[in-house]
Chain A
């Protein structure tokens, strides 16, 4: 049991000491660190950051909450001054604190502390905050699941560094790499699958920024429930964002015809039609992740899991076609466009009709036109044909 009495001191002594500390800390820190150099978005801070940090920069100050958990009150000034919020005053967010001792915390547990403060973020980040209102996390929270992620779970406001390039708005490489780790804090089992996947291993192992992180498929703040019919129907368009882009795929020799060939197939046609006509339709027609996996996507030529191994493809087919025989996987052309070497029967059937249809219909048209012409000539001449 750890116990502190930081908030239970006798008033007069406290005020005097706090004032003294504040002044001295100001003198010490104010010279070297221009904390309030950039104006905060709101009016002038009630207290200078140095005043707060004179206590809160001390390591390991904690407060025991009624739940028995320890709330760490330390703000590492070094981290804070590296963060995007370095030019904000503590009191811009902690606007309820202007005195010492501070008003009593009403939270019973660590989670309650977070839940009570996170809405402050909307004061500056209204757009992102509004997006979260339309997210699966917010819906879970509204339904009573207090573990659902809120702003501060992903963005520690005291340490959050710059995420995007201010000039381009694009994600910085460092932030890119860290995203899956953020999500892993709650979704660690999925993260473990992702780490071992073709995408995750490239990101985490090689720092490859071409591969998708969680947010590339799930979105950032307005993350939607990925188990809905609509998500399923739209999912091929998520994968094809990158997989039809030659600028990315050419580097790895991955063909970009994967969407075309999928849409041309019975399954893809059906899913595409649902997507266009009734996107909330529940369909059992496979989408990309039914065969390739969700978070555990492997290379197609992976010797153990790859779909280029016929047994693996057959196993994938049998998820929906339990009676499929060994010939069955070839009924799916594996994203190939038929050619004389790949799926030649299909290629030659198509070629046959490409020649046969114009020949037959062309021949018919020639005859019909000749007949029309002859009859017009005869009518003009007044010939009554026999």
Chain B
């Protein structure tokens, strides 16, 4: 099992390095002078030239890459053109908000999609199943930003149930920062009003992000359950008189979850990607919104940092998903060991 993890880790590191090269090359493709951009059009030429030397911009590309990696690993990600601060500072400030949002969405996906899918599969062709099938089919086709806008319209404006902007209402006192997750921080400091307020603000964007994956996972779970219900090993378990609850929650669930969890990786990818749009719509102060601003303003250092962070989050999520699948399906673990 540990060789499995090690292999995955080294492979991930390799891929992330490749990604860094890719994004680095892309960033340097932009015509125009980063030093000039940083100092502005009115700075004297000698100042610009000095900065160019400092940023190693006159050296060949691979040397620049080397300097960049060295700096990045020690936490120096350059300065943001937009905020005029260290990109690292910006990242530390904005990343937790996005992580909190994505984590909540992921939790929503698991907690909603799996039971719905299993129930629909168990009661195949009932009215419940038919409703689930139609809704999930449509749900997959609706892009996250459309959902976000519709939610905003319906819940935010028309019904005025959930607030639509930001992480906390202006009247609530924010808890001291420990993790950056408003929910956890307010629980730690015992600030219950802040906790509820944070949750309420998280719901609309979280649900908007989660709806597509919920539909997808519910579909997969449902069809997996329907397929497995007819498998001999389930029929055999039934024929031995094992009680229904045990059958469903243990013997049916585990094999049915394997395809579901396997797809989770892709769904997390879409959570990360769609966060860019949803954060924009809800004005959520997260790293994705920061990233979009950076992209619109061609803030290269920030763009590179944001893409790498997205890649790292995605990679970690994939490893976790793979571990869970390996736990569910022993065949994978043992084949790895034999190989």
Do A and B share a complex?
no
**B residues lining the A interface (CB < 8 Å):** none
